[in-house]
Amino acid sequence: MNIVTISGSPSSSSRLAALLAFVHESLAASGLSVDWINVRELPAVDLVCGNANSAAIQQATERVRNADAVIVGTPVYKASYTGLLKTYLDLLPMHSFEGKVVLPLAIGGTQSHLLALDYALKPLLAVLGATHILRGVFALERHVVKKPDGSVELDNEIAERLSAALVELVADVYNMSRTVYAGGGTTS
Ligand SMILES: Cc1cc2nc3c(=O)[nH]c(=O)nc-3n(C[C@H](O)[C@H](O)[C@H](O)COP(=O)(O)O)c2cc1C
């Protein structure tokens, strides 16, 4: 089972990165292979100028292609996903998320923008071919505590909600692969 996370935070001291680090550690502890696409590390000129064929973008796209599940994470910016995330998703080929389990993940400063997951991020995932989109996890800034020594800590509530979402994701990937096998077909 291959899982890839996509991080759409432009920040170098990102709270979203702390959530995704937890995701990676949890999945790796279960022996699962997890890949990471940090959009802020992709060449800015490729993202801004739409160079989908550059080597760096192609490598990232290959990771998405090989994944059974994709976890798409974004901070809420101006009541939506970040522009940075969109620059990368715009470069993905049509149907890139088809046949994959997709978990949306967002972090924001206010509960008022919880629905950004539903009205902004999920339609974007659907347009990329995702049909199996999990309910998603919305975290608040206060769930990711930055400590004076520079380290970060997740509170229990968000750790539990993330863990539950990962259990669901892994079970759904497993069930999808069994269904495909039972039908004798392939996902592509
Ligand atoms: C430019 C900008 C716009 C933001 N807009 C919103 C917003 O509309 N709603 C919200 O809940 N939080 C908003 N926030 C707060 C971020 O979502 C929050 O700080 C989040 O934890 C940032 O994640 P990061 O540290 O991974 O970048 C905004 C932050 C920035 C920098």
From 152, 1, 13, select the one nearest 71 (Cα to Cα). Answer: 1
CA angle, 88 then 90 then 95, to 5°: 110
The pairing of strands 144-146 and 152-154 is antiparallel
- Written as one letter, the residue type at 119 is Y
For ligand 1, mutation pick of 23, 39, 76, 154 (most atoms within 8 Å of CB): 76
From residue 105, alpha-carbon distances to 15, 20, 102 in Å are 12, 9, 10
CB-based contact 137:102 (threshold 8 Å): no
Tokens encoding 43: 């060449």
Asked if residue 85 has its Cβ within 6 Å of ligand 1, the reply is: no
Rg from Cα positions in the chain: 16
Q: Assign residue 95 a region: left if phi > 0, alpha if psi is -120 to 50, beta otherwise? A: left
The pTM of this model reads: 0.94
Q: Render pLDDT for 6-57 as a digit per residue (tens, 0 to 9).
A: 999 999 889 999 999 999 999 999 999 899 999 999 999 999 999 999 999 9
Domains of the chain from N-terminus onward: 2-182 (3.40.50.360)
**The pLDDT of residue 66 is above 60:** yes
Q: Render pLDDT for 77-109 as a digit per residue (tens, 0 to 9).
A: 999 999 999 999 999 999 999 999 999 999 999
- SS3 for 179? helix
- SS3 for 9? coil
Q: Which atom of ligand 1 is nearest to the CA of 140?
A: 21
CA of 61 to the centre of ligand 1 (A): 26
The pairing of strands 101-108 and 69-75 is parallel
For ligand 1, mutation pick of 77, 78, 117 (most atoms within 8 Å of CB): 77
Q: Whose CA is nearest to atom 2 of ligand 1?
A: 77
